[in-house]
Amino acid sequence: MRLVAAMLVLALAGCAAGNLSPRHELQPEPLAPQTATPPTPPSLSSPAARAAATPDATVGSSGLLPCETESCRINCSSKVPARARPKWCAKFEEPVE
């Protein structure tokens, strides 16, 4: 019986010590400033195509992006059969081998 009474006293003391007032709601912390990411051309919709493009890639005179990254050179090579190339390779010039 003493154990039950002691637990009841401790439970009530714990509730009384906590601030249960709805007036003291937590304020959201201000968001940290976002770092600017380098812009990628808007025509690159897939993550793989954005990864294959260099951050400062500009569209060439042919309307295609230069194939400068290792990912682009590997995936868009003329050695890879056309049916096996990713669709995003169509947005890049053919890599120079």
Segment 36-87, tens digit of pLDDT: 655 555 566 677 777 777 666 676 667 888 888 898 999 999 999 999 999 9
The widest CA-to-CA distance across the chain, in whole angstroms, is 89
pLDDT of residue 81: 93
pLDDT of residue 42: 58
- Selected residue with higher pLDDT from 66 and 30: 66
State if pTM tops 0.95: no
Give how far Cα 45 sits from Cα of 41, 87, 89, Å.
9, 11, 12
Contact 67, 73 (CB under 8 A): yes
Amino acid at 42: P
Question: Taking CA 56 as the corner, what is the angle to CA 52 and CA 61, rounded to the nearest 5 degrees?
Answer: 85
3-state helix vs strand vs coil in the chain, percent to 5: 35, 0, 60
Name 92's bridge partners.
Answer: 65
Q: What is the mean pLDDT of residues 3-16?
A: 74
